[in-house]
Each structure stands twice: as structure tokens, then as C-alpha cells.
Amino acid sequence: MDKKKKIQIVLAGAAGFVAMLLFLLGFSFYQAWSNEKALYESTDSALFAQLVGESDEKAAEISRKRIEDAENAEKQAIESGMAHRIEKYKDQLLLLVNPWNEVPEDYIALLNTVEDGYLIDRRCAQALTDMINDCRAAGNLPVICSAYRTHEYQEELYQNKIKRLVAAGTAPWNAPEIAARSVAIPGTSEHQLGLAVDIIDENYVNLDQYQQYTNVQKWLMANCSDYGFILRYPNGSSEITGIIFEPWHYRYVGVSTAKAVEASGLTFEEYLKTLE
Ligand SMILES: [Zn+2]
């Protein structure tokens, strides 16, 4: 074998090895990304301290302030002459928020408290309570784990994620972009509308695809449209929704739209296009 041929074989081997390494690296990054993407959807109350690395006391204080701010929102808005903003969004139950459509800057969420102190848009608070109660009455154990989030709360989660990444060795100039893959950039989380809720099964509290097989999700998926909710991020639709399959995230759109979306088999994004 001549020298040239030997070099060619060695080069080919090296290239194959590098390709394999890159594939493995890419795959593990993708897995970490998927897990974190799921995790960011669970960042309210009970899990708050753990996720942002704060003490329970500090987390409770932030949580309290969040509730206060939200409850004062309408009063403050009217006092500051922003009643027109409330009027503007009053009937807009189908507002689209996703990675490409931010929560409008003048949007005001008007909230009610539901069980465990979670906040939800007052237009769907009763429907959510009814859905949870009926799910329970059917012998299931539903638990809310995330509902309304303020912009500041989302910002805090996002900044904390950046801090933790940097502390773990990520370059500071790369951290914001990497953080955005797992914690929605403030302004692009549907939870900021107050019309989204995450519900899990007490018997299986992991936010992963197996959540779909729990009794709670089976019941919710079969019945949520009766209460005006849709499963917002169905399996195999992440290209369209920008979010991984989340068999725990429900969005309120009102009963007639929920029924129509369900019958169409479309994602919310696709359904809205049919209305244009
Ligand atoms: Zn969610």
C-alpha cells in the first residue's frame, strides 16, 4: 500500500470518528433541550424555589407579590386611564401567543384565584374549577402546577436560568440564547395571557410524554372541550406550535371554539388560519 493511500484511509477514519462524535454531542444536547423545555412549563409556586435556587421564604414572598399585583391590575388600569385596554381585549379569547407572536404590550390580564392560590383569567376561572371538580368526581387526582405568570415572573425565571447556565460554565455571551430554549423569552409564554393552565396527575408528576397515559390526562383530553379548553401542544405538532408535545398544557378558547378545534383535528395555529 502506498503512502498516499494510507493517509487517505487514516483521514477517512478520522472523519468518520468526528462525525460520530458530533452526532452523539448533538443528540445529547437535543435531549437536554427537550427536558428543559418541558421543565420550564412547571415553574410556579411549589417548584419555584427549587428551580430558581431561591429560599422557600423568598419564593413565597415573590408568589405573594405576584398575586397582589395581578389582583390590583384592573383597579390600577382604570385609575391610570387604561380602561380602553380592558375593553379592547375583553372579547379576544383567541389571542395567539407563541414564539413568533408576543403578548401585546397593552394586554391586561384580569384574574381570579383558583385552588391552591393559582391565578387564571377570570373569563375561565369557573370553567377551570368545574373541569377540575368533575375530573375529581370521576375518580381522578388532577393537580394544577402552573397557571398565570406575570411578565416580571417570566423575566425572573429567564434571568435566573441565564445565571445558572453561566455558573455551570456556559460562556456569558452564549447563555441568553441557550436559556431561551428552555425558559420562554418573556413576552412569548402563553401563561402570560392568563388563559393557559398546566394540570398533572398526582400519581405521575413528571412533565414528559408519559403524562399522556395518566388517568387525569385521559379524562381531560376526552372532556376538556366541554369546558372550553383545548390541548394546546399536541403530539407531532411542534413544528407548527414551536413547543414540544405537552400533554398537560391546556388553553381556554371558549366552548364553541374548543369543540370546533377538536372536530377539525388542527392545532390552534392552523385553526386560526382557517378563520382568516
Ligand atoms: Zn404550560
Q: What is the pLDDT of residues 205-236, one digit of tens each?
A: 888 899 999 999 999 999 999 999 999 999 99
Looking at the structure of the chain, the number of domains it has is: 1
Q: Is 64 a member of any domain? A: yes
One-letter amino acid for residue 227 of the chain: Y
Q: Can you give the residue range of the structural domain that contains 188?
A: 41-275
Q: Which has the closest alpha carbon to 190: 73, 52, 96?
A: 96
Q: Which has the closest alpha carbon to 107: 189, 166, 207?
A: 189
Look at residue 39 in the predicted model and tell me its pLDDT.
41
Q: Is 23 a member of any domain? A: no
Q: Is 7 a member of any domain? A: no
Rounded to the nearest 10 degrees, what angle do helices 3-40 and 175-182 cross at?
60
Look at residue 125 in the predicted model and tell me its pLDDT.
93
Q: Is 14 a member of any domain? A: no
Look at residue 151 in the predicted model and tell me its pLDDT.
83
Q: Is 35 a member of any domain? A: no
Look at residue 42 in the predicted model and tell me its pLDDT.
41
How many angstroms does the Cα of residue 249 sit away from the middle of ligand 1? 4
Q: Which three cell numbers stand for residue 189?
A: 409564554
Flag residues of the chain having pLDDT under 70.
1, 26-54, 59, 62-63, 66, 69-70, 181-182
Q: Is 235 a member of any domain? A: yes
Look at residue 265 in the predicted model and tell me its pLDDT.
96
How many angstroms does the Cα of residue 5 sit away from the middle of ligand 1? 57
Look at residue 46 in the predicted model and tell me its pLDDT.
44
Q: What is the pLDDT of residues 242-253, one digit of tens each?
A: 888 899 999 999
Query: In CATH, what number is assigned to the domain containing residue 99?
Result: 3.30.1380.10
Active site residues: 246
How many angstroms does the Cα of residue 144 sit away from the middle of ligand 1? 10
How many angstroms does the Cα of residue 248 sit away from the middle of ligand 1? 7
How many angstroms does the Cα of residue 113 sit away from the middle of ligand 1? 17
Q: Is 29 a member of any domain? A: no
Look at residue 38 in the predicted model and tell me its pLDDT.
41
Look at residue 112 in the predicted model and tell me its pLDDT.
84
Look at residue 141 in the predicted model and tell me its pLDDT.
94
Single pTM value for the model? 0.73
> What is the rounded CA–CA span in Å between residue 228 and residue 102?
23
Q: Is 15 a member of any domain? A: no
Strands 249-252, 196-201: pairing is antiparallel
